[in-house]
């Protein structure tokens, strides 16, 4: 298992370009410092996971071609296609967000914002500060097992 790398603040400019800190990007196993397309997965409100395009591209293209006559199937496939967004990640570590992704992360395209970027071995999490704070608060009792007696 790779070493844990802490996340860092990542800033979004008015053009929707998220500057991901280099230390965060270097901890992602598939990032090679080259420009290319990635898939952004809208998971929980305020959280987007970023994977290489190859991870979801083929499945999404198949879903777009395989349109069923059932309304329920169509709606399910439409939600799947909406959940995954093709984004551009450039070699200098800028991720271009779209007007559809920005509100999910808590701001509008054209606004300057601060987000939090955190790597995991097979991807990258980009989250709003609100989502980060809630996750830290929720994890206190369950994930942080204190191995020492706190000072009295």
Distance CA 100, CA 23 (A): 27
1-27 pLDDT per residue, tens: 456 888 999 999 999 999 999 999 999
Tell me how far CA of residue 139 lies from CA of 20, 123, 131, 145, 148, in angstroms. Answer: 24, 21, 12, 10, 18
Query: Is residue 67 a contact partner of residue 74, using CB atoms and an 8 Å limit?
Result: yes
* CATH number corresponding to 8-56+85-143: 3.40.1550.20
Q: How many CB atoms lie within 10 A of CB 152?
A: 3
3-state secondary structure of 131: helix
64-92 pLDDT per residue, tens: 666 667 888 888 888 888 899 999 999 99
Q: How many CB atoms lie within 10 A of CB 150?
A: 5
């Amino acid at each position: 298992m790779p070493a844990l790398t802490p996340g860092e603040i990542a800033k979004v400019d008015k053009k929707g370009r998220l500057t991901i800190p280099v230390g965060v990007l270097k901890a992602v196993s598939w990032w090679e410092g080259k420009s290319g397309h990635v898939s952004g997965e809208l998971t929980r409100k305020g959280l987007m996971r970023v994977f290489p395009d190859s991870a979801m591209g083929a499945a999404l293209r198949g879903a777009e071609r395989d349109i069923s006559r059932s309304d329920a199937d169509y709606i399910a496939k439409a939600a799947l296609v909406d959940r995954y967004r093709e984004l551009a990640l450039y070699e200098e570590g800028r991720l271009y967000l779209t007007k559809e992704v920005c509100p999910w992360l808590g701001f509008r395209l054209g606004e300057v914002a601060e987000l939090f970027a955190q790597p995991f071995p097979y991807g990258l999490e980009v989250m709003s500060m609100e989502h980060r704070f809630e996750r830290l608060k929720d994890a206190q009792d369950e994930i942080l097992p204190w191995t020492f007696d706190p000072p009295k």
